[in-house]
Structure 1
Amino acid sequence: MLSGLIPTSFSRLQSLTRVDVSYNKLEGPIPDIKAFREAPFEAIRNNKNLCGNATGLEACAALMKNKIVHNKAPKVVIFTVIPLLGSLLGLIVGFFIFLQSRRNKRLMETPQSVRWCPDWELCYADIIEATEEFNSRYCIDGLQSCASIRTSPAVKKFHQTQRGSLRKVLNDEEQAVKMDWDKRLNLIKGVANALSYMHHDCSPPIIHRDISSNNVLLDSEYEAHVSDFGTARLLMPDSSNWTSFAGTFGYTAP
């Protein structure tokens, strides 16, 4: 099977009287000689794209024009679609920038008392870690949307203490038996956390002055919570003062 253009050297074969190039893949103009001009259509049919002055063939000028238009069509589509896609992408990016700017503006207008930190995701992650994934013992009245940080049980508000004070539990033989050594160790850690928070995390530091068994409250899980700040004092840095004795003998800090 032949393919491509018919060689121009055929134009010099003036004595050629008959040709048959049918059922090939020839294309382009046929040689301008009598054998091709007078060839029947069956002799040149079923080729790829022959043109010229012969029966059944399209004129080469018209064929080349159609070919140019056909070749231009994809370019026209490309040069039309690409700018449209670029404009659409620009609109999408601009829309997201607009939304982000509005969000940042709302954050800037948020009162300082509730804007815990500039990165809300980081704050949320810190809260999740600090509350052990919103464990109920760090939540006020069991509402997990109102959690207190595990390092600050001293400032947590309770409407009911459930098991009452540590003194009450220890004086109840049945409840005292339930307080095994693991619970007692956990209780000590809870009180230590509360004191550490008051002394080192509060500004100014808080001196409770009466950490007695009466002022350590237990919840249903035997978690300790410091209460009764009636005798507490704020410790101002670089200050010295005298105060009268307050609290319970044997439980006052030195």
Structure 2
Amino acid sequence: MSVIDISDNQLQGPVPNSTAFRNAPAEVLEGNKGLCGGVKGMQPCKVYSSHKKNSGAKWFAIVFPVLGALFVSMALIAIFILRKRKSDSGDPQSSSQNPQGLFSILNFEGKLVYDEIVRATNDFDAEYCIGNGGHGSVYRAELPSGTVVAVKKFQSPLPCDQIAYQKEFLTEVQALTEIRHRNIVKLYGFCSHARHSFLVYEFLERGSLAAILSNDAAAQELGWSQRMNVIKGVADALSYLHHDCFPPIVHRDISSKNLLLDLEYEAHVADFGIAKFLKPDSSNWTEFAGTYGYIAPALDEMLDPRLPTPSRIFQEKLISIMEVAFSCLNESPESRPTMKIVSQQLTSAA
């Protein structure tokens, strides 16, 4: 096209940069005030500023998402490295101050603590064994952080009726992880492994009540007031299990072997291996379970000849405790006091 005529059309915008427009006379472009371009007599278009603005917007739209993605990636990498270093090195100080936090690892990524326990007991050597039970042994383990724990290791390898042992293990874990009481031993963690299955408890320095009573020197240190405190602590723990847990929990094997004492002779109920969870809408009648010999203590067992004769005040308190104890032996279950009532009566007697 060599000749054009677009006069009086009220057109707008830049004109094409072609020979026909560049050589066109002014009269063929008249009547189009909005036109611009490199034609003689016509205003130049503001091409540069518009292009610059559009280029800046495009540059921002491209660079900003890239920088954002790069920043997020670097942050995620930094978090991963920090967690990895913390997991590898650990923090002995915080672990010692917070045993519960230390053993929360055992419930999830327990390889580190598992190895520490195996090393601390020399692969459960008899040298570190502090007690034996019907289905396992208890070991003392001092971890590198300085924390001392009690490890109850179940028999391994499991015998032919291993399903029953696994059920016992899971029952004790379930019971201990759901209860919190000052007179019930704390569970820090557990391990269920093809080689070892064990529970990790807080370590109670004085050991079991049975061990103390079987040692004349230790038994003499356990005076009448401490013994009354032990009885009261056990009653409080059982009251909590029976009345403050849902569903209620019956321990089913309360004996001196399953009562652990701390340095202040505070009692802690342990070993929930045969604990029974009672459904509120079911019958509570069950077959006998537990340790024979702790069903009906004899009257003369209340007075230990290794201790000095109690004062008249203590004798009256002991008589009150005996009355509470014998009320629990009534042949009719409906006539026996609940553990909550027993706990209240012992508080009054003390």
TM exceeding 0.5: no
Task: Point out the structure with max Rg over C-alpha.
Answer: 1
Query: Normalised by the size of structure 2, how large is the TM-score?
Result: 0.31
